[in-house]
Amino acid sequence: MPLPTHLQRFTDPIPVLSDGHVQLIDCMGDDLAVVDAARVSFFGKAEEHTDAANRHLIRYLLRHRHSTPFEMAEIKLRVRVPMDCWRQWIRHRTASVNESSTRYAPAIDSMDVTPPNEWRSQSSDNKQGSAGFVDPEVGKLLTARETYIQKELRDVYEERLEHGVAKEQARKDLPLSTYTEAYWKIDLHNLLHFLSLRLDPHAQLEIRLYAQAIAEIVKAWVPWTWEAFEDYRLGAMFFTRQEVTALEDLMDRLLANGYQADKLVTNAAAASGLKNGRELTELTAKLRRLFE
Ligand SMILES: Cc1cc2nc3c(=O)[nH]c(=O)nc-3n(C[C@H](O)[C@H](O)[C@H](O)COP(=O)(O)OP(=O)(O)OC[C@H]3O[C@@H](n4cnc5c(N)ncnc54)[C@H](O)[C@@H]3O)c2cc1C
């Protein structure tokens, strides 16, 4: 089946990093496949319901963490990623992967290059993170050293191949900046999980850039699901039991200062901008719980 017209532009690779990309190969299902699956008990076809009803059902399903309807839609991408970034990506076990083999074919002759002004400094308060940039003058030196070492390591690799060394052994000293390519197929439920982790500011910048490129495709592919994902995952916050206790304490203090619970709940619910009856009811119930 050819891709729907509005998705065909994504068959052109979306550039990421110095020589990477994300490219849409195929997809199965869309928002309507999700609502069709959810209505299986009623033999309801998505087309028999209004767009508004289908959109609300998707929002309900995502808000209440229903998973399997979102597994009915799938996407297949071709990605070109430096090995260090791929090493993080491949930890997501719920995708099907076929990666080009450097035992079988020569390693891709391309390595990720960092421009002088993009060397990030080690964060002082997050051992896994970065903060700000090193001086671009120092960056010039680091980039020059990178260019030198990458060429040297590629030359050593090719020299081994010329001497007849097997590809599986010749590759052992190639750097982690070497690009690899893979087909990556995943269902929508697990893709949203991947995106929630890898769009997060705690994820490393490089994989975040790939997640942002994939997000562009997902927005166009399943717009109602994307909208719900933004509302209930990306823009949401979860509270622990202790945090709820702290919020309850906050509410008690407001009441002790003469505020009225009913008025506070009504105003806060209005500020949310929610129009949907069920969602508004859920919010109001949560807010009231904090005053109990
Ligand atoms: C910011 C960040 C920092 C990280 N730092 C580190 C680190 O320092 N060291 C490190 O090793 N990893 C690190 N990781 C990787 C992380 O621990 C996970 O392995 C990775 O994000 C994949 O998540 P996942 O298992 O939820 O996803 P998937 O593998 O896609 O799985 C999706 C879900 O399926 C279920 N599932 C899949 N496989 C199984 C299984 N075998 N058994 C039970 N349930 C399963 C789980 O519910 C899981 O959440 C980091 C990840 C992030 C986002």
Whole-angstrom distance, CA of residue 283 vs CA of residue 285: 5
What digits encode the pLDDT tens for the residues 196-231?
Answer: 999 999 999 999 999 999 999 999 999 999 999 999
pLDDT confidence tier of residue 46, bands split at 50, 70 and 90: low
Give the residue, by CA position, lying nearest to ligand 1 atom 34: 94
* Residues spanned by the domain of 283: 241-291
What's the pTM?
A: 0.94
Comparing 47 with 23, the larger pLDDT belongs to 23
Nearest one of 41, 58, 42 to 50, comparing CA atoms? 58
Are 99 and 19 in the same domain? yes
Are 184 and 92 in the same domain? yes
Are 27 and 77 in the same domain? yes
Which residues, other chains included, contact 100 with Cβ-Cβ below 8 Å and sequence gap of 6+?
108, 180, 181, 182
Q: Average pLDDT of the chain? A: 94
Per-residue model confidence (pLDDT) at position 43 = 64
Within a domain: residue 108? no
What digits encode the pLDDT tens for the residues 141-178?
Answer: 999 999 999 999 999 999 999 999 999 999 999 999 99
Partners of residue 41 on adjacent β-strands: none
Ligand 1, pocket-test mutation among 65, 195, 197, 233, most atoms within 8 A of CB: 197
Within a domain: residue 110? no
In the predicted model, what is the mean pLDDT of residues 124-141?
A: 88
What digits encode the pLDDT tens for the residues 92-105?
Answer: 999 999 999 999 99
Of the CA atoms within 13 Å of residue 1, those in its CB half-sphere come to: 8
Whole-angstrom distance, CA of residue 136 vs CA of residue 126: 23
Are 166 and 264 in the same domain? no
Q: Ligand 1: which atom is nearest the Cα of residue 94?
A: 30
